[in-house]
Amino acid sequence: MPAAPAAPAAVPSAPPRRWPDVSFRWLALLAAATIVALIFLVGWELYRGAHLAVMKFGVNFLHHSVWDPVADDYGAWPFIFGTLVTSVIALLLAVPLGVGTALYLTEIAPLRIRQPLVMVVEMLAAVPSVIFGLWGVFVLVPWLRDNLFVWLKKWLGFLPLFQGPIYGVSVLAGGIIVAIMILPIITSVSREILRSVPNLQREAAYALGATHWEVIRLAVLSYARRGIFGAAVLGLGRALGETMAITMVIGNRAEVSASLFAPGYTLASVIANEFTEATTDMYLSALFELGLVLLVVTILVNVVAQLMLRSLAGGGTGKVQ
């Protein structure tokens, strides 16, 4: 919106606007309005579907931990918990790895291998979700169960996070699968951001006698950190909504446990799993409400991220310029 008053200033002569300008303006507005309308319509439809459950369970739905379709008793807490925990694990793993890869691709890798590496990263994004899931079930989970988890339990077992029986399928396995799936987007976006850092920035740092690492840290990363944060938010959005792969490795148990070895469940997974066979109205309505909760959680997380981005922006620009 603030760009609007600037537009007439850019066109100094003031004859009546020609129709391509006007129609383009309206078309663009229409496109933007469609997105907003779509979100509202989705929210409204979900609310309509969830009406029955909202009336019956009220706020309790959010912190109630039982999910019992036979007794028509529903609560969303285990699913909200599972969704948030797996997303956080995924981000903790994928952001350092993704940004590291992007840094290597833009700052360090020899020019000859950059393009092939970029292609490999982008191929990762093209692998369908269910393939990741199958790979998770047959390769990743057994390996985690017999190696990484045993090792974690042995050395970090004093933390509640790494206690309890090891099944392989677990919240941690879910987080790892999602991390792999959001890696390409975080890497690609970070790479574009890093490439957009002006070379002047680097040259100035070198001129001051900075080492390669110092150039990356002071000149490149601090310049690009807003954008990298944005890449992480994009990744988070995907992590929250990931369904197919995660349901195959998370164990699908509606339970809240402090241990990352315990099975869990996510909002998107339970909807995908149970929607087709939900026969009673209340059951269906509760599933709709889970969808509504997922939408709200996603919006909230994005709003928080935007706020964090804004506070980060103040500090960031001050330092660089």
Partner 1 sequence: MKKILLAGLTGLLAVTAAPAQMLINGAGATFPYPIYSKWFNEYTKVDGSVRFNYQSIGSGGGQKQILSETVDFGASDGPMSDDSLAKAPGKLLHIPTVAGADVVSYNLPGSPKLRFDGPTVAAIFLGKIRKWSDPAIASQNPGVTLPDQDILVVHRSDGSGTTYIFTDYLSSVSPEWKSKVGKGTSVNWPVGLGGKGNEGVSGQVKQSPGAIGYIELAYAKQNKLPYADIKNSSGNYIAASIDSVTAALATAEIPDDFRFSMVNPPGADAYPIAGTTWLLVYARQKDAAKGRKLVEFLKWAYQEGEKMAASLDYAPLPANVQARVLQRIGEIKY
Query: Which stretches of the chain bind partner 1, using CB under 8 A?
Result: 66-71, 137-138, 141-142, 165, 167-169, 247-248, 251-254, 263, 265, 269, 272-280, 284
- Considering the complex, state which of residue 71 and residue 111 has its C-beta at the smaller distance from partner 1: 71
- Smallest distance from the beta carbon of 52 to partner 1, in angstroms? 13
- Smallest distance from the beta carbon of 200 to partner 1, in angstroms? 52
Name the DSSP letter for residue 74. E
CA 135 and chain centroid, separation = 21
Close Cβ partners of 34 (under 8 Å, ≥ 6 residues apart): none
- Smallest distance from the beta carbon of 130 to partner 1, in angstroms? 10
- Considering the complex, state which of residue 284 and residue 320 has its C-beta at the smaller distance from partner 1: 284
- Smallest distance from the beta carbon of 166 to partner 1, in angstroms? 10
**Rounded Cα gap, residues 100 and 111, in angstroms:** 17
- Smallest distance from the beta carbon of 201 to partner 1, in angstroms? 49
Nearest in space to 283 (alpha carbons), one of 60, 58, 68: 68
- Considering the complex, state which of residue 98 and residue 263 has its C-beta at the smaller distance from partner 1: 263
Instruction: Specify which residues 74 forms β-bridges with.
Output: 67
Measured CA angle at 161 (ends 160, 163), to 5 deg:
65
**Rounded Cα gap, residues 170 and 177, in angstroms:** 11
- Considering the complex, state which of residue 136 and residue 184 has its C-beta at the smaller distance from partner 1: 136
- Considering the complex, state which of residue 213 and residue 277 has its C-beta at the smaller distance from partner 1: 277
> How many Å from the N-terminal Cα to the C-terminal Cα in the chain?
26
Nearest in space to 285 (alpha carbons), one of 271, 297, 265: 271
Nearest in space to 137 (alpha carbons), one of 111, 102, 173: 173
Q: How far is CA 170 from CA 34, 135, 148, 231, in A?
A: 39, 15, 13, 26
- Considering the complex, state which of residue 248 and residue 294 has its C-beta at the smaller distance from partner 1: 248
- Smallest distance from the beta carbon of 77 to partner 1, in angstroms? 14
**Rounded Cα gap, residues 115 and 112, in angstroms:** 7
Close Cβ partners of 156 (under 8 Å, ≥ 6 residues apart): 162
- Smallest distance from the beta carbon of 157 to partner 1, in angstroms? 18
- Considering the complex, state which of residue 188 and residue 247 has its C-beta at the smaller distance from partner 1: 247
- Considering the complex, state which of residue 107 and residue 274 has its C-beta at the smaller distance from partner 1: 274
- Smallest distance from the beta carbon of 211 to partner 1, in angstroms? 48
